[in-house]
Structure 1
Amino acid sequence: MSDVTYLGADRAPSPGSGLSFGVDIGGTGVKGAIVDLRTGQFVGERHRIDTPQPATPEAVERTVAEIVDHFGWTGPVGVTVPGVVKDGIMRSAANIDQSWVGADLRGLFSESLGGRPVTVLNDADAAGLAELEYGGGAHVSEGLVILLTLGTGIGSAMLYNGTLIPNTEFGHIEVDGEIAEKQASAKVRKDRGWSLDTWAGHLSTVLTHYERLFTPDLFIVGGGISRKADKWIPRLTNTTPVVPARLRNTAGIVGAAMAVADDL
């Protein structure tokens, strides 16, 4: 548990305190932590609870509230979800229960947290914010950066001159007649038994297509497979530089905390 405790709204951290709170909702676990935005580091340890099954919005919002209460946090909260979010409403659920579509997540989470402000955003967008500030893109101050998370599917975040362009969902773009995440996700590689060399060829095709569409200055690639980046990044044949994500499983929490602090 964190060694920082907030006992009332009048003692919640001010914007100048540099502290914020993020929660990252995943398929197997819901994780949260207090984040020091001056460093991108957690204050104390994160707290994780298994994602409830069935993972309905109502069940998950109770889990989020339990995580926030664990820290005694009474300020605003940022929450990531695996789908498109507009004006606090869930608009898609590609890899989550369809009951999330149309849910007013901002209202739902805010009510369960006593009416405090809640910012809800796509999980890959949150990771993109965090990686650009503290991770693989920390050296980039200008230009177009695309973050891709390679896991069950392909999540994406686009940032131009440091500003997030939300809900890109590049994994759903058709590339050479096939949806991108159906030919280059980490899951596809595992399911088809591909070597890293074979998989890197398919990923190169997808990245080259993104280059033609968007002309990015940098790709940041995350997901568990980024731990082996030194073995497959050199095999890529696209032209835009590719670097591995650095924050790994902390990026969603950090990005959620950044989003609520910036009132996105």
Structure 2
Amino acid sequence: MTNIGFGIDVGGSGIKGARVDLDSGEFIGDRIKILTPQPATPDAVADTIKEILSRAEWDGPVGITLPSVVREQRALSAANIDDAWIGTDLQALFAQHLGAEREVAVLNDADAAGLAEAQFGNPKAREGAVILLTLGTGIGSAYLIDGTLCPNTELGHLIVDGKEAEHLASSAAKDREELSYTKWAKRVTKVLREYERLFWPSLFIVGGGISRKADKWVPKLNIDTPVVPAELRNRAGIVGAAMAAQQQLRP
């Protein structure tokens, strides 16, 4: 087995990494998880990533996801990590902590999930315009055209009914306002209808922890576009990161 990569998914509460079989999208061995340092500054997170790579005894290329807009390998936003990330030169940061000789690819976490789902999830994710949404603390998004990523869409910040979409319809909003699945699905419908109006996708893929209960709310959505739950679930970020490193994808 030679087509092996390594991906790391940085979240607000945990940083996770694993070897990935890039032919199947499956993990090789156990996933390693370390709690995200607080505050989650660039140096502290980079040191945690170094610790994961050390534990895994991995010295090859590595892909890293961040809850940030990433353009030209510079972080332009910071969600659930320290604001010190904004403006950080990511290649310089990780060269300092992981070694200048190591190849590193950094991308947005939802974009990584979209790459993984298109490659290893529903085959229809590679056909036409597809929007993947991760419903959690906010709404992350990945926009794919025939399986090719258009990075940094940030559709969760689109204004719907006078609010940012993620303030209206994230799973955190459901929990915060103690909404039933029926009431929450009405809000998700409003958001998806706006995405339909603007992008005319052929498919929505919904991820995030709440996708595990897709049977409780996806049938309640009232839109024209098919909606399917993500298939890779919590593997998607790590798998997409490893793919980015393999493909030398650096938004």
Question: Shared topology, TM-score over 0.5?
Answer: yes
- Aligned-pair CA distance for 1:94: 3.5
The amino acid across from 2:147 in the alignment is G
Question: Corresponding residue for 2:43?
Answer: 58
- Aligned partners of 2:67 and 2:218: how far apart in 1? 26
Match of 2:23 among 16, 27, 38: 38
Deviations 1:23-82 (A, max 9, x none): 000111110011010000111111111111111110000000110111211111100000
Q: Which moved more, 1:105-114 or 1:215-224?
A: 105-114
Alignment partner of 1:120 is 2:101? no
Question: Corresponding residue for 2:225?
Answer: 240
Deviations 1:160-218 (A, max 9, x none): 01100000000000012111001000000111111000000000000000001000010
Report SS of the residue matched to 2:39.
coil
- Aligned-pair CA distance for 1:225: 0.6
Question: Corresponding residue for 1:49?
Answer: 34
- Aligned partners of 1:29 and 1:140: how far apart in 2? 28
Deviations 1:211-233 (A, max 9, x none): 01000010000011101101110
- Aligned partners of 2:148 and 2:96: how far apart in 1? 29
- Aligned partners of 1:72 and 1:109: how far apart in 2? 17
Question: Corresponding residue for 2:169?
Answer: 184
- Aligned partners of 1:250 and 1:140: how far apart in 2? 17
The amino acid across from 2:156 in the alignment is G
- Aligned-pair CA distance for 1:112: 1.2
- Aligned-pair CA distance for 1:107: 1.7
Report SS of the residue matched to 1:119.
strand
Q: Which moved more, 1:167-176 or 1:103-112?
A: 103-112
Report SS of the residue matched to 1:45.
strand
Question: Corresponding residue for 2:208?
Answer: 223
Equivalences for 1:1-264 in 2 at 5 Å?
Answer: 17-115=2-100, 116-135=102-121, 137-264=122-249
> Is the 1:61–1:112 contact (alpha carbons within 8 Å) kept by the matching residues of 2?
yes
The amino acid across from 2:133 in the alignment is L
In structure 1, the gaps of 5 or more residues are 1-15
- Aligned partners of 2:248 and 2:123: how far apart in 1? 21
- Aligned partners of 1:229 and 1:25: how far apart in 2? 25
> Is the 1:129–1:164 contact (alpha carbons within 8 Å) kept by the matching residues of 2?
yes
Q: Which moved more, 1:73-82 or 1:102-111?
A: 102-111
Number of residue pairs the alignment of both structures matches:
248
- Aligned partners of 2:135 and 2:95: how far apart in 1? 31
| % identity of equivalent residues | 59
In structure 2, the gaps of 5 or more residues are none
Report SS of the residue matched to 2:126.
coil
- Aligned partners of 1:114 and 1:97: how far apart in 2? 23
- Aligned partners of 1:89 and 1:68: how far apart in 2? 22
The amino acid across from 2:248 in the alignment is D
Deviations 1:105-136 (A, max 9, x none): 2221122111111100000000001111112x
Report SS of the residue matched to 1:43.
strand
The amino acid across from 1:195 in the alignment is S
> Is the 1:146–1:219 contact (alpha carbons within 8 Å) kept by the matching residues of 2?
yes
- Aligned partners of 1:204 and 1:56: how far apart in 2? 36
